[in-house]
């Protein structure tokens, strides 16, 4: 099993992504509001004001991200990666997000969530 994390900067993709995941049989995901380190530093007015000003010019509306966590069977992980890339237009694109997974050594309380 794996815990897949998606830090989604392109938050307009959230609902279409959740719909596609549901259609594919993924029933459990936790969604958290999140903010990147540079966003916090931009607001503090420290030594990087130029970066904050540039970022604000290119993306004035976005204040944060959505972080999704999903515990998946190993065979589901590739399918979910494909869905994420399809819906977002490619996670590799700038300011789209970050995707990674870590092994889950055990799980409890998920028996009803498994396919």
Per-residue confidence (pLDDT) for residue 37, from 0 to 100? 76
- Domains along the chain with CATH numbers: 2-35+64-113 (3.30.70.120)
What is the crossing angle of helices 49-58 and 37-44, to 10°? 110
Torsion of CA 4, 7, 13, 19, to 10 degrees: 30
For 32-77, the pLDDT digits (tens) are: 998 877 766 665 555 555 555 555 555 555 568 999 999 999 999 9
Q: What is the pTM of this model?
A: 0.78
């Amino acid at each position: 099993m794996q815990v897949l994390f998606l830090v989604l900067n392109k938050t307009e993709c959230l609902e279409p992504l959740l719909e596609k995941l549901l259609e594919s049989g993924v029933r459990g995901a936790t969604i958290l509001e999140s903010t990147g380190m540079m966003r916090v530093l931009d607001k503090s007015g420290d030594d990087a004001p130029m970066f904050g000003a540039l970022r604000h010019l290119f993306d004035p509306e976005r204040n944060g991200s959505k972080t999704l966590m999903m515990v998946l069977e190993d065979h589901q992980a590739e399918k979910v990666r494909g869905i994420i890339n399809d819906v977002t237009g490619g996670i590799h694109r700038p300011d789209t997000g970050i995707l990674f997974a870590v092994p889950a050594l055990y799980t409890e309380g998920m028996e009803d969530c498994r396919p």
